[in-house]
Structure 1
């Protein structure tokens, strides 16, 4: 974006140029206006009510620096340090993946399964356990904990949520996100299940994961310069981590418990076969908002 002098640039001018700027950068147009709002620290309504506002020198410099970084491949969420998911706000940085809307399908399906389970008759509230493997920013674990906390207030089950990640830097971000979203989660530094117990009392009712599933040879990875590649790609055509999670799940999941995994659009059949070959029943694959296979679920039999 060719920058005039700061005292000459207004919100209206940036809005008029936003579509072309976005096209030049190959990014969504809202990235430009959302970045502008972040820089000037104003609500969205400000773009309509105060479009004659002139950026001061510092704002103008920061705005253009961000545009340059977008041009170099930095996503908007890394510039603002924030991403919304499940109507909650999450801090993100270069150590975490940016939460995608399609991952909300995983959260929806897990909650639907939990809500469909019969309530056991007892004098007290049931204690249940849920595990999120490869939590990253914590968006899945925190969103589930947020909803399950509401269920607990309605005198349903009391859920303990455990979130695992190999990256200590990612866990720091996830812990901050848990605090800011008012949920209590146990965070564990571990390579998948390695640091977890197989004792009967420690088994989980639900295991969820959005593991790396992009083929290491996928040419699209070359364009992803900002997000951690280790959290995106896996060997064996992207199936290595998924296969490990499924094969080891029976040691950590209660009989009848749910395993739910996000995967690539072309991996539904392969993932269902892995579920079927590892003692899972009631297996189904759910499509994302774009109509692509995205989440496979099954119950341990």
Structure 2
């Protein structure tokens, strides 16, 4: 059977549109999935609306639509997701990178840039190596994006300095780390060390091993959240946490002072309704200059703070 490409889109759009109204399926998934199936760029749909799907393309397209209607995300069908203009492999062992998480990357880079300028003004720039930790790296999107921006050839943050950044990325899941290592390779990043660790458990508190920056996008959804009942693909363990979603964030913040240098930065992504609670956790754990940054939708999303001298 052959079907004109535009007709095929119209045939499948209404069920997906209805699902989108319930917050399940973004409207653009069907078009992106079709482009993936026919292996064409987006402009192809504007110039070839009479294209006939082959039988194999027709069957693959319909099978994918059925999976999406059952709750399988598009990224798990294609096996890839773009984040920070880089390409990341994803599978059932990792969360799919979200655009809002780019706010975390952006804020960390902004802070590093400000610190670099402050050090330059004070005459303190000595080219010393610095260390950055990503806790619960998953697909590696945060660690790899930061390593990409901070690498000598791409360093738009610290152009005039010779600082070398060593990035450490940890995750408790060996399968997730396989994905993260693969993503580092395909994005040509070689300044990341991957460690299997339950948060800080395998990390050293020796002074030479302390970090200048720590970041994390931990599980933060309340275990009782009804939306988790409809989750079909992404690992629940990477999404939800006890204590109304705050348990892992609390662990990260409370233990961070042992692993951060004085004046070092901790930046944590969290839920839209957790800003005040997370700020209090920071303040209770010897952090200063605590602030919460909103995401692209105007919701509290990232809280940052610098460790004070104890």
Q: Could you say which TM-score interval applies, normalised by the shorter chain?
A: over 0.9
Q: Deviations over 1:112-164 (max 9, x none)?
A: 00000023547852200000000000010011111111226654421000000
2:45 aligned partner: 47
Show structure 1 runs of 5+ residues with no match: 1-5
After superposition, residues 127-276 of structure 1 pair within 5 angstroms as 127-149=129-151, 150-151=154-155, 154-184=160-190, 185-276=192-283
DSSP 3-state at the match of 2:289: strand
Contact 2:270 2:301 in 1 (8 A): yes
1:10 shift after superposition: 1.5
Whole-Å Cα distance in 2 between the matches of residues 132 and 123 of structure 1? Answer: 24
2:104 aligned partner: 106
Show structure 2 runs of 5+ residues with no match: none
1:58 aligned partner: 56
DSSP 3-state at the match of 1:132: strand
Alpha-carbon RMSD: 1.4
TM-score, normalising length from structure 1? 0.95
Whole-Å Cα distance in 2 between the matches of residues 181 and 153 of structure 1? Answer: 21
Contact 2:12 2:65 in 1 (8 A): no
Contact 2:275 2:301 in 1 (8 A): yes
Whole-Å Cα distance in 2 between the matches of residues 116 and 123 of structure 1? Answer: 13
Question: Is 1:23 aligned with 2:25?
Answer: no
Contact 1:205 1:257 in 2 (8 A): yes
TM-score, normalising length from structure 2? 0.92
Whole-Å Cα distance in 1 between the matches of residues 256 and 53 of structure 2? Answer: 54
Question: CA 1:157–1:218 in structure 2 vs 1: closer, same or farther (change >3 Å)?
Answer: same
Question: Is 1:277 aligned with 2:279?
Answer: no
DSSP 3-state at the match of 1:281: strand
DSSP 3-state at the match of 2:28: helix
Whole-Å Cα distance in 2 between the matches of residues 112 and 58 of structure 1? Answer: 48
Whole-Å Cα distance in 2 between the matches of residues 140 and 93 of structure 1? Answer: 16
Contact 1:11 1:53 in 2 (8 A): yes
Whole-Å Cα distance in 2 between the matches of residues 123 and 22 of structure 1? Answer: 54
Q: Deviations over 1:47-97 (max 9, x none)?
A: 111121111111111111101101111000000111111111111000000
Whole-Å Cα distance in 2 between the matches of residues 78 and 145 of structure 1? Answer: 25
Whole-Å Cα distance in 1 between the matches of residues 160 and 45 of structure 2? Answer: 41
Whole-Å Cα distance in 1 between the matches of residues 100 and 160 of structure 2? Answer: 28
DSSP 3-state at the match of 1:29: coil
Whole-Å Cα distance in 2 between the matches of residues 123 and 110 of structure 1? Answer: 19
1:35 aligned partner: 33
